[in-house]
Amino acid sequence: MVALDEVEREIVATVRQFVDRHVVRAASELEHADTYPEALIEQMKALGVYGLVVPEEYGGLGVSTSCFAAVTEELARGWMSLAGAMGGHSVVASLLTRFGTGAQRDRYLPRLATGEIRATMALTEPDGGSDLQAMRTVARPDGDEYVVNGTKMWITNARRAGLIAVLCKTDPSVEPAHRGMSVLLVEPGPGLTVSRDLPKLGYKGVETCEIAFESCRVPASAALGGAAGNGFAQMMSGLELGRIQVAARATGVARAAFEASLAYAQSREAFGVPIWMHQSIGNYLADMAVKLEAARMLVFAAADRLDAGGRCDLEAGMAKLYASEVCWELCQTAVRIHASNGYSAEYPVERFYRDAPLMVVGEGTNEIQRSIIARQLVERGGLPYT
């Protein structure tokens, strides 16, 4: 276990107990029915999950990024959708903590900490995801307001969010384009509609939607930090935490796949012995364990780097890339170990298999992560020990 203080260890242990007692046994039924887990979300609120990254002065727990990652992993081990339901919310809370004005922090952070309002991010658009500078959502100044027009995609919590951090262009004419981008803190109201729910392979139970802005008016004071033009840098900084969170989701699902496979390989017999004793299956288990532990180390190394205050895009990108690829590989291996039972909805590994690809493409595709890693390696002159 990563080094946490006593309070943080208790927080992780409490969440682990919640997952074991309430989530594991309910996840498959809720997931297959694509039912929103209202009761589980309410329990997460009571446990303080929605206030993990909110400072104590605003009513949150103010934990380290390592603790946040460990909690995320435990939730994803039970059901990845629960970890997704608090992921974007936590990134928005972090953005407010780091960049918000005093008035913005006072308005939102206490209610975000309790889950009274839940937050989400709006970055991706129908015609583009990773190329954020090509976005078409525009907020044009009109007196002391912005008028927002555009469409955003893949918005988790869209129907239940009380706050949406929208990355948009407030000055489309400026070059380079990122200098004309801002994060606007938008609350539900006229001109903002959830246009449709997106059908998905996995990540069920929690809604993922397309949202449309049609002459949606928001006050000029809604610009994160109180000034326009800083949104791209703010959001790129926030995505460092977001990628660590996605990486921790991946290690949580990978853990679930590994633990299910290890248990199954000891109980299932073939040719008179448990199947783990057959070399091919034993080798699968050994490789799964090694890759899982390596992925977890990258996640917590990135978390430590972020907490130390250093630039973390290299470490977060490496963690997200490797953990998500390992997760997908381990979930496929789990299906192999379970054989025909791995294809059955009566076993959870088919759910792990459907959930795993999201971490590969979410929060910046792994192809983009490789580009980020390569650029940072050149800029930094290699890895720290070279």
pLDDT, tens only, 67-77 = 999 999 999 99
Structure tokens at 15: 């969440």
Q: What is the mean pLDDT of residues 131-155?
A: 93
d(CA 255, CA 342): 16
The lowest-confidence range among 125-134, 183-192, 346-355 is 125-134
The residue type of 196 is: R
Which DSSP category does 313 fall into? H
Q: What is the mean pLDDT of residues 306-316?
A: 92
Q: What are phi and psi of 230, to 5 degrees?
A: -105, 5
Q: Give the list of residues 6+ apart from residue 385 with CB closer than 8 angstroms, or none.
A: none
Confidence of residue 133 (pLDDT cuts 50, 70, 90): confident
Q: What is the mean pLDDT of residues 270-290?
A: 98
Judged against a pLDDT cut of 70, whether residue 200 lies above it is answered with yes
In the prediction, which pLDDT does 61 show?
Answer: 98
Residues annotated catalytic, as ranges: 363
> pTM (2 decimals)?
0.96
Is-contact 262 285, C-beta < 8 A? Answer: yes
Round the average pLDDT of the chain to a whole number and report it.
96
Q: Which CATH class is domain 121-229?
A: mainly beta
* Residue 155: closest CA among 146, 163, 145, 147: 163
Q: Name the CATH topology of 232-380.
A: Butyryl-CoA Dehydrogenase, subunit A; domain 3 (1.20.140)
Q: What are phi and psi of 166, to 5 degrees?
A: -100, 120
Is-contact 241 98, C-beta < 8 A? Answer: no
Confidence of residue 128 (pLDDT cuts 50, 70, 90): confident
Judged against a pLDDT cut of 70, whether residue 191 lies above it is answered with yes
d(CA 334, CA 290): 15
The lowest-confidence range among 97-101, 132-136, 181-185 is 132-136
In the prediction, which pLDDT does 3 show?
Answer: 81
* Residue 332: closest CA among 279, 273, 268, 253: 253
In the prediction, which pLDDT does 220 show?
Answer: 97
In the prediction, which pLDDT does 384 show?
Answer: 78
Give the residues across from 3 on adjacent strands: none
Judged against a pLDDT cut of 60, whether residue 278 lies above it is answered with yes
DSSP element (H, E) containing 168: strand 161-169
Give the residues across from 216 on adjacent strands: 148
Domain ranges of the chain: 6-118, 121-229, 232-380
d(CA 184, CA 186): 6
d(CA 151, CA 192): 10
Which DSSP category does 277 fall into? G
In the prediction, which pLDDT does 195 show?
Answer: 93
Helices assigned H by DSSP within the chain = 6-18, 24-33, 38-47, 65-78, 80-99, 102-114, 231-267, 279-307, 313-338, 349-361, 366-380
Residue found under tokens 């809370």: 93
In the prediction, which pLDDT does 386 show?
Answer: 54
Confidence of residue 212 (pLDDT cuts 50, 70, 90): very high
Q: Which CATH architecture has domain 6-118?
A: Orthogonal Bundle (1.10)
Give the residues across from 182 on adjacent strands: 168
Q: What are phi and psi of 126, to 5 degrees?
A: -55, -35
Q: Which of the two residues, 132 and 165, has the higher pLDDT score?
A: 165
Confidence of residue 179 (pLDDT cuts 50, 70, 90): very high
In the prediction, which pLDDT does 244 show?
Answer: 98
* Residue 122: closest CA among 200, 51, 181: 181
80-99 and 349-361 helices cross at what angle (nearest 10)?
A: 30
Handedness of CA 314, 318, 320, 321 (dihedral sign): positive
> What share of the chain in percent tops pLDDT 90?
95
3-state secondary structure of 190: coil
Q: Give the list of residues 6+ apart from residue 100 with CB closer than 8 angstroms, or none.
A: 108, 109, 224, 225
